[in-house]
Structure 1
Amino acid sequence: MERVKLFVKTVHTKSFGSYSNKDVIFLLKDISDMLHETSTMDKEEQIQSGKHYSEMLPIENEPSKEYTNLFFSSLHSNKLKIAEAVQVIAEEIIRQKGKKTLLVSLARAGTPIGILVKRYILAKYQISLPHYSVSIIRGRGIDENAINYLRKHYPDYEFQFIDGWTGKGAIKLELDQSLQTINQTNQTNISNSIAVLADPGQCADIYGTREDFLIPNACLNATVSGLISRTVMNRDLLSSKDFHGAKFYQELSPHDVSNYFIDEISAQFESILGNTVSFKMDEPNWSGLREVQSIQKMLKIKDKNLIKPGVGETTRVLLRRVPWKILVRDKMDKNVSHILLLAKERKVPVEEYHLMSYSCCGIIKSIK
């Protein structure tokens, strides 16, 4: 077997989370003992009263049996589809950027997808690309300290950002704006290209599919994300020199399926490595954002951030927010069967709305 080529520099970073450092290194500050979580209703009231969501953390408990079963059923139903989508984006990254590419996942939904891309490229090309996970926060931007760290340690690498899926494109817009500022300030030319597994919002540069289906890591929180919390940007806890923060939920270790998810998808690679990938990437057209704007106007919603389109985002609305109603394009669509079940359990009304490309859309209740 050909000797594995290593393009990874030695970085002395303390292990954080349940993933191996061989898979990913988190550029995050551990704030596990510094921040207490906020209940769902309290969090919703504070967010809608003006406090930024990144200044607090939701409570993350042991996942319920229902959500765990949903994770396993969606994983086993879609693992080959996910592996094939990973193959598409990994091959496109190699085609566009070459074999000296720095994989930069957006914590936390992007992290497992970045690990899968790294593993696929290792399996196919015997090259271990460096892979880091950094924070990006809507309204606050990407973690500039993390980007500067990567620029310093990988000055001759092409950046490739990775996320899980797109909704209305808020994170893509945040990435574009952040990198424009960073590039202007530092006279650099860091690429703002983002690769996602699923792009129903049609705003990603590289995507595995534009089908709006359930990616299993949308079903659970920390227990499928390396036991890492959502990222935090709170100046009461972090200095100007710190990376963005996150909590490590070690107490949830007995329920952790993070590496199980990675291993199940990676096991599919052997059967597809010989496949010829001929996939033309369509240009982003931002149709998803226009659909969200139409929904906002139709429902007279003042804050578009209360509208969460796509299967992944709708699942999260039902799991961790205070939902008002759910829109589905077609109640018979197998991609929304779990949405209908969750909505029924939580007594959230569901309405059919055919004028959208998304399979469904979650609307958060306005506390005001």
Structure 2
Amino acid sequence: MADVVGQLGSYAKEDVTFLLKDLSDISIEKSTEERERSIQSGTHYSEMLPIEYKPTDEYMQLFYASLEDSKQKVALAAGIVAEQIFARSGKNTVLCSLARAGTPIGVLIKRYIERKYHTSVPHYSISIIRDRGIDENALHYILNHHPNGAVAFIDGWTGKGAITKELIRSVERFNQQYDRGLSSELAVLADPGHCADIYGTKEDFLIPSACLNSTVSGLVSRTVLNEKWISPSDFHGAKYYRELLAEDVSNLYIETIAVQFSSIEKEAEHRAELLQQKREAPDWSGLASIQSIQKDFGISNTNLIKPGVGETTRVLLRRVPWKILIQPGSEEALQHILLLAEDRGVPVIEYENMSYSCCGLIRPAEKSL
């Protein structure tokens, strides 16, 4: 494997290093409907990419409004997570974001640590893919460059815990095979699925970076693992959408939240200390909600159930949604969900029997389009 990493994405190189193979010149996108048929007939989702959703002006205004409304809340959650990570490993910390939802969160955590502790810790973004595991070549790269580093895995939020489980399995396999001692603990801003070890909050709230795709994630696509383009010695792949530079809000998002750090620093430190003192193991209680939804709507495959604000947003942006479930009385906090559902003609149903504020159901292949 070549020990060379090129610049990818629109973040400053000081903020993050993407350990991803650049597939920008390859046409790999499929329409939402074509991709959905392929996935439900057995093709793995990581072998292709969705066409990037181009948000309307109305939707972008909603993004800016949600960023303004939640900037302090996101900053506080990022600070709480950063304090817990740094308390464990200090200057040996190596931040490792799970691309791509984890990347902006990792940048925020890195910025918080720099501001508060006057130290610059490394930050990488690597791929993990459900049912296929983490990019082991990327892990080897990190460990080779930081032999004494304490790797901290970071994502944006939890849904039903599929990636959490994948991380636990992948790291355990990696440690056994290569005689390593990596921790599989996952740090997230929001943990409504109750399955992360480190979190800023359990609340299922709108993290504005969930509203958009590449234009809030450094113009980097979802990660790709397709043997046509990825050899065993390669990192997993991704595209860099340079053509969207004019619409990129990735750095605006970071700067808007980072400027709040000075006002939340003391509270973040206090809350992190409390969480460290009363450490609670994940109880995976979100899975009970999934089981109820599966039974009530006759869904055979739980991969078609995407709980939480972040996952519901993703369903509406890049899958074929069937129904959207929302907690009664949560309409005001879910305006972007309602707008997207209206835009795509998807019915919205009030549903109380879940621990999440909303849930997206993907249309099963047997249901007529």
Superposition TM-score tier, normalisation by shorter sequence: over 0.9
Q: Distance in 2 between matches of 1:241 and 1:43?
A: 27
Shift, 1:135, TM fit? 0.3
Identify the residue that residue 5 of structure 1 maps to in structure 2: none
Identify the residue that residue 346 of structure 1 maps to in structure 2: 344
Shift, 1:355, TM fit? 1.4
SS at match of 1:203: coil
SS at match of 1:106: strand
Q: Which amino acid aligns with 1:74?
A: S
- Give the counterpart of 1:128 among 107, 120, 125: 120
Q: Which amino acid aligns with 2:349?
A: E
Q: TM-score, normalised by structure 1?
A: 0.94
Q: Which amino acid aligns with 2:249?
A: V
- Give the counterpart of 1:296 among 283, 294, 297: 294
- Give the counterpart of 1:217 among 209, 212, 224: 209
Please state if 1:75 is matched with 2:67: yes
Superposed counterparts of 1:3-18, under 5 Å: 13-18=5-10
Is this contact kept in 2: 1:196–1:207, CA < 8 A? yes
SS at match of 1:129: coil
Q: Distance in 2 between matches of 1:328 and 1:63?
A: 22
Superposed counterparts of 1:77-92, under 5 Å: 77-92=69-84
Identify the residue that residue 316 of structure 2 maps to in structure 1: 318
Superposed counterparts of 1:1-368, under 5 Å: 13-275=5-267, 276-278=269-271, 279-280=274-275, 281-368=279-366
Q: Which amino acid aligns with 2:362?
A: I
Identify the residue that residue 6 of structure 1 maps to in structure 2: none
Is this contact kept in 2: 1:91–1:277, CA < 8 A? no
Q: Distance in 2 between matches of 1:85 and 1:334?
A: 21
Shift, 1:94, TM fit? 1.2
Q: Distance in 2 between matches of 1:87 and 1:36?
A: 37
Q: Distance in 2 between matches of 1:108 and 1:114?
A: 10
Flag structure 1 segments of 5+ consecutive residues without an equivalent: 1-10
Q: Distance in 2 between matches of 1:139 and 1:133?
A: 19
Deviations 1:238-294 (A, max 9, x none): 110000000000000000000000000001012223444233243211011221122
SS at match of 1:15: coil
SS at match of 2:270: coil
CA RMSD of aligned residues (A): 1.4
Q: Which moved more, 1:336-345 or 1:251-260?
A: 336-345
Tell me: CA distance 1:345–1:34, structure 2 relative to 1, closer, same or farther (3 Å). Answer: closer
Deviations 1:41-75 (A, max 9, x none): 00000000100000001111543213212211110
Deviations 1:159-189 (A, max 9, x none): 1000000000000000000011000001111
